[in-house]
Each structure stands twice: as structure tokens, then as C-alpha cells.
Amino acid sequence: MRVGLVGCVKRKGRNPTAAAELYTSDLFRKRRAFVERSCDRWFILSAKYGLLRPGDVIHPYDLELTQLSAPDRREWSRRVVARLEQELGSLSGVIFEAHAGRPYLENGVQQALREGGATVETPNPGRSFGAQLSFYAERPASRPPASDQTLQARLTDRGGGRPPGFVALGAFLSDASKDGIELAASQIETIIGRQLPASAWKHRAYWGNSESNSQARYWLNAGWEVVGVNTTRRVVAFRRLAHAAASSRE
């Protein structure tokens, strides 16, 4: 598994929102686009909140990691690694792709990850701000988008007043250009605008294709069904229902 780690930046929006949308600088957006294409999952390294999922709704803040004392940075690093273990389980064999400044990695995070059996890659280390922007502009991520070729663009551009929640997931699936698609937890959370509950990965029934399942109504009404759930990788596979697929080709 390849996991992206993206450092937070100073420039932020003014209102509480999903973490993936809070940071508004060009550098953050380029880093985000890069890891969404190159990694299976990604997280944000926040000076205030520690490790964040892209869909975690947070308030704006004014804190930089370098403002913390050395002991506080070490404690921050310990909390980040503990959250990664909570999210991913064993870190052994995981490849972490880090897009963050040195303070995010050199206070214990990088060492702890490697001691846990993980590999840490820093594709864009130690460059100036301008050089970093050039790197992301000139070097596309090597991993292709998920099964729908327009997936990344649609995840990035969620404008047009699309409503939040699973109604947004139904609309997202309705717009898909293929009859099958896999979505990681972070992608689903970006679409619905909130974090999925822990039960989503503990109980297969959460993704059951039943009208009595409140969230399932939205993908079923959109003409889709869940055909697979990988609770370890936190990936859900959707398939367009046969009658809906036939109609879309007419």
C-alpha cells in the first residue's frame, strides 16, 4: 500500500470545512492532486490536529509546527504515528510518500515509520517554494487515476452546489462514465463531505444493497450497487445495475 502524507500550509479558508478543502494555497492543491493520483490513501499532517483524513471537518487555525517547542513536536510526532497505526494497522511494508517540510518528518515521524517496517519516500525534498511548484507542474504522478479516468477531476472540482452526504455519492455515481468503479475511504469522504463512521469498516451491512439501509438508497436510486468491500484497504467497489447500464448506452 502506498500512503500519501501532505503537510499543512498557512493559507486557509475562513470557515469550518473538510480538511482537504481547508488549505487553499497552490502548493497544497498541487500536493493533494499528486498524492490522489499516486497513492492508495492519503492524510494531512496538521500542526494543530495531528493526522487528518481528507474528509475530517475542522476549524481554521493559525499554528505552524515550528512554533511548537521541541518536546511538543516530539509529542505531536508520537500522536501522528499512533493515528497512522490506528488507521492502517501494521505499518510493515507500507510505502509512505511524504510531501511535507522537514519539521513534519524529522521530529520522530520518519524514524518511527521506518522502525515499524515502513518505507518513507520524499519525492520533493528541500526545494524552494518555486522549485516545489515547478516539480508538481512538470512531473505527473506515475499511478493512474481509479477505474474511471475522470475520477480525479470530479473529486477535485466539487462545485455546482452539489449537496453533501450520500445524496452527493449518488450524483457522483450517476455521472460516472464507466459501469464499474472503486472508491477509497478518503475519496468517499471527499464526495460526501464528512468522515465515515468506524462501523463502515467493521460491519459489512453498512454497505448492504437494501432499501432499508438509509445510505444505500442513494446509490441504488442512482442505478448502482456495492459489489465488494475491502475493510483492510478501506475500498468499496460499485457496479452499475444491469438495467441502468443498458439505459445509459441507449
pLDDT in tens, 189-213: 888 888 888 889 988 899 999 888 8
pTM over 0.85: no
pLDDT in tens, 221-230: 989 999 999 8
**Smallest Cα–Cα separation from 34: which of 152, 113, 191?**
152
pLDDT in tens, 90-126: 888 888 999 998 888 888 899 999 988 988 888 777 6
Q: Going by CATH, does the domain composed of 2-138 fall within 3.30.300?
A: no
For 167-173, which contacts have Cβ atoms below 8 Å and span 24 or more sequence positions?
167/218, 168/192, 168/193, 169/215, 169/218, 169/219, 170/218, 170/219, 170/221, 170/222, 170/224, 171/222, 173/219, 173/222, 173/223, 173/224, 173/238, 173/240
* Domain boundaries, given as residue ranges, for the chain: 2-138, 151-249
Torsional sign, CA 17, 19, 20, 24: positive
